[in-house]
Structure 1
Amino acid sequence: MPGDDLDSPRRRLFGVTLVAASGMAAAAAGVEIPSPPTTGRRDGGTHLSIDDRLQTLLHHPAFAGHARLLLPWDDRPLDEALPLKQIGSLLPYHSHIEPRVVVDALNRMIDDVHRGQVVFSPFYPDAQRRADPTRNHTGLFFFRGKAGAPFALIAPGGGFAYVGSVHEGFPYAQEISRHGYNAFVLRYRPGLGEQAATEDMAAALSWLFTHAAELGIGTACYSVWGSSAGARMAANIGSQGAGGYGGETLPKPSIVVMAYTGHSRVARNEPPTFVVVGGEDGIAPPAVMERRVAALRAQGTRVEYRRYEGLGHGFGLGTGTAAEAWAAEAVRFWSEVSPPGR
């Protein structure tokens, strides 16, 4: 598993203008932007189902200009005939992928678009994306909670080779927003390693703080979430802050949520941390995370730790398993620091 965990809203501003810019930038970077479909859907092209194919997702009007960024890989051709019920085949480092959970979160975004809300925005300025076309593969997907509530920034995993947003991003954000918090899923640059990915996370945080008023989000007591490789990124931000990775000098997150990672570094004054891991994880063995948990507790950091026997790596929300309540428990942990109505 390359580079992964073995320690290796103003619509004018956030609507059509940014989406169009994303589409032009993606085209400049060589990202394939599908053209509209030539045939209609019996449901009017609204919701997706697990029986639909990737082609329907890639051509869905709700995702025009950034549909390709929903999916994990940037450097692999896609079989557009692949049914969404087989979307797990695109995520080789993950397990317990539930297509209905994936599709439900995608449909949430479709509904938001139909309500006139914006679900995607790039966070790097145009000049930076022109100077470095790899940054055209980045952006933020927004799941709204209560106006003015704190936000969560979520970094999916994928061994820094791909970005597993469909399994460890959008479903997390949907669950978080159900509790009243705002949630953003980070689409970072795959294939460039931990440093570049964490720099993307820092840049996204800086953008969120700058545009918090337009987005209707609170910046006090924000949280960072990550799974596998994404948990390394979240932990890096918890340890060093956005400023440590090229972003603005910002307050550290109020909590860090880490799922099944081998990240072991500990800095002084770490934020409260919620940790979840599978007992049979052969990629990020529980013993590695347990050493970090012990080190955090030894320096007085508040930690909650969940280990689920019988589960391996990359189980996401853990739907249908012993782990299926973990995300709600992490939200409860966060709410003890910062209630969503604050």
Structure 2
Amino acid sequence: MEMLLNMKEKGILSVICFFIFICVLVLSGCGRQEEENLQTEGQPSGGGGDYTLETKVTDVINDPVFEDYGRLIFPVDRTIDDNLTLQDVGEILVWYHNVNPNRTVEIVNYLKDQAASGEQIFYDIYTEEEKAEDPEKENTGLFFFRGEPGAKTAVLNAGGGFVYVAAMHDSFPQAMELSEKGYNAFALIYRPGADTACEDLARAIAFLHENAEELQIDMTDYSLWGGSAGARMAAWLGSYGTAAFGEDDYPAPASVIMQYTGLSEVTGNEPPTYACVGTNDGIASYRSVENYIRWIKNNGTDTEIEVFDGLQHGFGLGEGMVAEGWINNAVDFWERNMGQTE
């Protein structure tokens, strides 16, 4: 707990600045997605399920195939109109650009196909007793994008300004890409708020270590991924460890993969870190990201950064843009740092 308080003291300036900027964007309406930012041509057509661009989001949430966790596929902390379709999901993903509706359709069809085939795709990280004691823990858990049995594991954390969880754009697509490469990928749905989010990520890491055999995953050399607020979570857990957030002390990740977030505190305990950001990011200055990576590198830790000209905040996979393919570089970075941790 002392370590956690220390982290809060060191990071308070950056977190306050982050939230101030978020509030300005909310009030100005700058976060609303523009249709011209949607990347729809030459992209996935939606998979083998029966959802389409015209499918209502509420129909996905209430599909019996998802039992009682369908509500967590989309942000539970955002108001979802009964008539909102998959085509227009970007409207509720505040602060995100380039939301790809065809990718959204592909993901929900993948999840439906997996669930319909009998695969367990969602895992609670808290017990029923813990959820009864704290009802907010009901809205947490891990979506599993399966790779090869026994393969290495990635844990992905979407952003959303610690206000909501933008998994449909900021962790599900990355998780699907990793699973297609053979890795086992878990997208965390957490409680918004910096403290609770980190507690949930620590619990998720503990859960995966404790259940690795049953899940048929390898948690040796696991990686933590995140975009925006989710990247802060990944960085904090990588630097401070699970014990700082109420869990037993589990091994540090082999790599932290960060998208578009700027941190100022460097402890010297950072794992190898990859980061990417756009030069037109109004929330996470690419200069701040460059400084953060340089400070980590100066401590003798492996780092890599990619700065993409002209891109705004929240470009996701970067499909059809200059950032396309960044995830392959991030995987290469993770792979070269496997076997380096004690």
* Category of TM-score, reference length = shorter chain: 0.7 to 0.9
* Aligned ranges 1:182-331 → 2 under 5 Å: 182-190=184-192, 193-331=193-331
Residue 98 of structure 1, CA deviation: 0.3
Query: Following the alignment from structure 1 to structure 2, what is the Cα–Cα distance between the partners of residues 247 and 321?
Result: 40
Residues 155-211 of structure 1: CA deviation (Å, up to 9, x unaligned): 100000010000011101000111111000000012xx2111111100111111111
Query: Following the alignment from structure 1 to structure 2, what is the Cα–Cα distance between the partners of residues 82 and 5?
Result: 33
Residues 223-277 of structure 1: CA deviation (Å, up to 9, x unaligned): 0000000000000011011111112210000000000002222122321111000
What residue in structure 2 maps to residue 172 of structure 1?
A: 174
- 1:328 is paired with a residue of what secondary structure? helix
Instruction: Tell me the number of residue pairs that the alignment of Structure 1 and Structure 2 aligns.
Output: 298
Query: Following the alignment from structure 2 to structure 1, what is the Cα–Cα distance between the partners of residues 111 and 335?
Result: 24
**1:71 aligns to 2:71 (yes or no):** no
The structure 2 residue matched to 1:128, chosen from 127, 130, 134, is 130
- 1:243 is paired with a residue of what secondary structure? helix
Residue 7 of structure 1, CA deviation: 4.7
Output the TM-score relative to the length of structure 1: 0.84
Query: Following the alignment from structure 1 to structure 2, what is the Cα–Cα distance between the partners of residues 4 and 169?
Result: 21
What residue in structure 2 maps to residue 104 of structure 1?
A: 106
What residue in structure 1 maps to residue 159 of structure 2?
A: 157
What residue in structure 2 maps to residue 337 of structure 1?
A: 337
Output the amino acid matched with 1:52. T
Contact 1:70 1:166 in 2 (8 A): yes
- 1:123 is paired with a residue of what secondary structure? coil
Unaligned runs of 5+ in 1: 9-44
- The structure, 1 or 2, with the larger RCO (C-alpha pairs under 8 Å, 6+ apart) is 1
Query: Following the alignment from structure 1 to structure 2, what is the Cα–Cα distance between the partners of residues 269 and 95?
Result: 32
Query: Following the alignment from structure 2 to structure 1, what is the Cα–Cα distance between the partners of residues 89 and 335?
Result: 33
Output the amino acid matched with 2:318. G
Query: Following the alignment from structure 2 to structure 1, what is the Cα–Cα distance between the partners of residues 73 and 15?
Result: 21
- 2:156 is paired with a residue of what secondary structure? strand
Shift of the 214–287 alpha-carbon distance from structure 1 to 2, 3 Å rule, reads same
Query: Following the alignment from structure 1 to structure 2, what is the Cα–Cα distance between the partners of residues 69 and 4?
Result: 26
Residues 261-320 of structure 1: CA deviation (Å, up to 9, x unaligned): 022221223211110001110111111111111101111111110000110101111111
Query: Following the alignment from structure 1 to structure 2, what is the Cα–Cα distance between the partners of residues 99 and 49?
Result: 10
The structure 1 residue matched to 2:62, chosen from 59, 78, 83, is 59
Output the amino acid matched with 2:322. A
- 2:314 is paired with a residue of what secondary structure? coil
After the TM superposition, list the runs of 4 or more consecutive aligned residues in structure 1 that deviate by more than 3 angstroms: 3-8
Query: Following the alignment from structure 2 to structure 1, what is the Cα–Cα distance between the partners of residues 16 and 152?
Result: 28
Residue 92 of structure 1, CA deviation: 1.3
Query: Following the alignment from structure 2 to structure 1, what is the Cα–Cα distance between the partners of residues 15 and 231?
Result: 10
Residue 59 of structure 1, CA deviation: 2.1
- 1:172 is paired with a residue of what secondary structure? helix
The structure 2 residue matched to 1:49, chosen from 43, 52, 68, is 52
Query: Following the alignment from structure 1 to structure 2, what is the Cα–Cα distance between the partners of residues 95 and 266?
Result: 29
Query: Following the alignment from structure 2 to structure 1, what is the Cα–Cα distance between the partners of residues 79 and 288?
Result: 35
Output the amino acid matched with 2:182. G
- 1:269 is paired with a residue of what secondary structure? coil
Residue 77 of structure 1, CA deviation: 3.5
Output the TM-score relative to the length of structure 2: 0.84
What residue in structure 2 maps to residue 91 of structure 1?
A: 93
Q: CA RMSD in A?
A: 1.7
Unaligned runs of 5+ in 2: 1-13, 20-47
Contact 1:4 1:160 in 2 (8 A): no
- 1:223 is paired with a residue of what secondary structure? strand
- 1:314 is paired with a residue of what secondary structure? coil
Contact 1:156 1:165 in 2 (8 A): yes
Query: Following the alignment from structure 1 to structure 2, what is the Cα–Cα distance between the partners of residues 99 and 288?
Result: 31
**1:148 aligns to 2:159 (yes or no):** no
**Sequence identity (%):** 41
- 1:270 is paired with a residue of what secondary structure? coil
